[in-house]
Structure 1
Amino acid sequence: MTTNATPQTFLVAGATGSVGREVVRELLERGHTVRALTRNPSAAQFPPGVEVVGGDLADPGSLGPALDGVTGLHLITFTGGGYQPLETGPEIVALARKAGVRRLTVLNGGGPTPLEDAVRESGLDWTVAMPVEFMANALGWADSIRTEATVRAAFVDNVSAMVHEADIGAVIATALSEKGHAGQVYLVTGPQALTVREKVAALAAATGREISLVELSEAQALEKYLADGLDESTAAWMIDVFKNTPPEGRTVIDTVQRVTGRPARPFSQWATEHADAFRA
């Protein structure tokens, strides 16, 4: 892995999200100036040295000052409120080009979106990060593990090449701050394809407690998603993703190693780092 000798300035949208925070941290560790874009600057907490700036991708007019002097811009594709696809890509790209931004990265949201389309057509150097399932999804089991030492899930023998959020952030930070990544779409996976059983075993080892696994039927899983507050279309989509995980979601590839020069972090490491979230 190489790094730039000269510090640069980067603007990170979605900076309060699980991936955005890792992009911020990685760029900061590389010695760059980092601006974290958030709709609510007064409520945001970041490491010392991060410039917290207000702005909203859904309102491109709010981005002007935040783009001054920026070399690279990291974007997300959905609004922060209702997770609706952003329609403001052309305006954002025009502002970035006017401000002299040279590189754009996008966190793919699971499919084509108007903002990603605009970035690909921008004429600027762009890179798309397309991660598979986040390891942080395991936090959805935290309440039941804390209170009952139990995980309830369907399709427990299907595998996922789930990826650590820090590795996604590292890939994005590398593409933003180094040359050689223009026009690339990086599928980002972890180093192992794990079943639900194996994930639960890793959490048990990390927390030092026995955790039971209760296998749900497809109908029971759908009922649980609806009870948890998901709408019917989202619940049905989740059932399909876990039941019929596409090859991209269950096949390990070496993107993290190739792009960052570091091996991808295993789920056992993530579990150790987040063990307190699962303890009573």
Structure 2
Amino acid sequence: MTQTQRILVTGATGTVGRQVVAELLARGHAVRALTRDATKADLPAGVEVVQGDLTEPAGLASALEGVTGLHLITFGGPYFAPLETGLRILELARAAGVRRVTVLHGGGPSLLEDAVRADDDVDWTVLMPVEFMANCLEWADGIVASDEVREPFVSRLSAIVHEGDIGAVAAVALTEEGHGGQEYVITGPELLTVGDKAATIAAARGREIALIELSEEQAIAQWRAAGHSEDVTGFLIEAYGNTPEVGRTVVDTVEKVTGHPARTFAQWAAEHADAFTATVPVVTA
């Protein structure tokens, strides 16, 4: 049993941040959550929510008081721009006595991650998850409306990871010895195609789903219509059409770090089945 520690989680209302919070709470630790709007945090009872912005580190000193571990993201502000304040954030963290830092890799080089890696005064761990299972929630509207998944490159393989497992690895690295200076690639336990994922969601919700393969041009049009920028559509075409080896290779990081097997996509689909199921209005007399 590890001693109770207080951890500051930045990006606490995001897909991964919420899981870091949940996993730390499950392990009996005290959690302080940083968010730009504390009134909208909607975090579990017992979490100390503080308002702050990583783009303005001068205001972080009080949030870091009494903290032993710090979870960082690499972007901030209302427009999620890459952070340029990493050196100052780490300076404040060291002054507050922070011993361990995790940083969620943002998919490419970042000034904050570079600053973390260069810091010899804290035990840092870089978390490098592959595709999130939660990304499949983008299919929910189409599945509910027409029982369809419309995607390009449907035979591509992904070692898709449950976001809870990312949180679990972070929680261990933030509270236990032996993870300093490590770069952890985090995957799920299996390789799945788009068709595999659609079939698994269909089984979880108890209703078939048709898989419709789009051409690149159709996919780009669909993503643009959804409001994605040209940079994002270009990234998606590259990531899905030419998935790097790291994204389609299963590794056992989750089990090695946490002592538990990585969660399957079937588990994730069962947990989120309601998101893919139409809600029938109740008609009253």
Normalising by the smaller structure, the TM-score range is over 0.9
Residue 117 in structure 1 maps to residue 114 in structure 2: yes
Aligned residues: 277
Residue 50 in structure 1 maps to residue 27 in structure 2: no
Aligned to 2:151: 153
The secondary structure found in structure 2 opposite 1:265 is coil
Residue 255 in structure 1 maps to residue 253 in structure 2: yes
Code of the residue aligned with 1:158 in structure 2: it is: R
Distance in 2 between the 1:86 and 1:143 partners?
32
> For residues 106-144 of structure 1, what are the alpha-carbon distances to aligned partners after superposition, in whole Å with 9 as ceiling and x for unaligned?
000001100001111122110000000000000010000
> For residues 65-94 of structure 1, what are the alpha-carbon distances to aligned partners after superposition, in whole Å with 9 as ceiling and x for unaligned?
110010000000011422211000000000
Equivalent of 2:4, from 4, 7, 13?
7
Distance in 2 between the 1:233 and 1:34 partners?
35
Distance in 2 between the 1:25 and 1:226 partners?
34
The structural deviation recorded for 1:274 is: 0.3
Code of the residue aligned with 2:147 in structure 1: it is: A
Code of the residue aligned with 1:274 in structure 2: it is: H
Equivalent of 2:202, from 178, 201, 204?
204
Distance in 1 between the 2:231 and 2:26 partners?
40
The secondary structure found in structure 1 opposite 2:63 is helix
Equivalences for 1:1-280 in 2 at 5 Å? 3-4=1-2, 6-123=3-120, 124-280=122-278
The secondary structure found in structure 2 opposite 1:127 is strand
The structural deviation recorded for 1:254 is: 0.3
Code of the residue aligned with 2:104 in structure 1: it is: L
The structural deviation recorded for 1:223 is: 1.3
Distance in 2 between the 1:80 and 1:194 partners?
34
Distance in 2 between the 1:230 and 1:91 partners?
32
What residue ranges of structure 2 are gaps of 5+ in the alignment? Answer: 279-285
> For residues 161-183 of structure 1, what are the alpha-carbon distances to aligned partners after superposition, in whole Å with 9 as ceiling and x for unaligned?
00000000000000000000000
What residue ranges of structure 1 are gaps of 5+ in the alignment? Answer: none
The secondary structure found in structure 1 opposite 2:55 is coil
> For residues 30-51 of structure 1, what are the alpha-carbon distances to aligned partners after superposition, in whole Å with 9 as ceiling and x for unaligned?
1111101111111111111111
Moved beyond 2 Å, runs of 4+: none
The structural deviation recorded for 1:225 is: 1.1
Code of the residue aligned with 2:58 in structure 1: it is: G
Code of the residue aligned with 2:37 in structure 1: it is: N
Structure-2-length-normalised TM-score: 0.96
The secondary structure found in structure 1 opposite 2:221 is helix
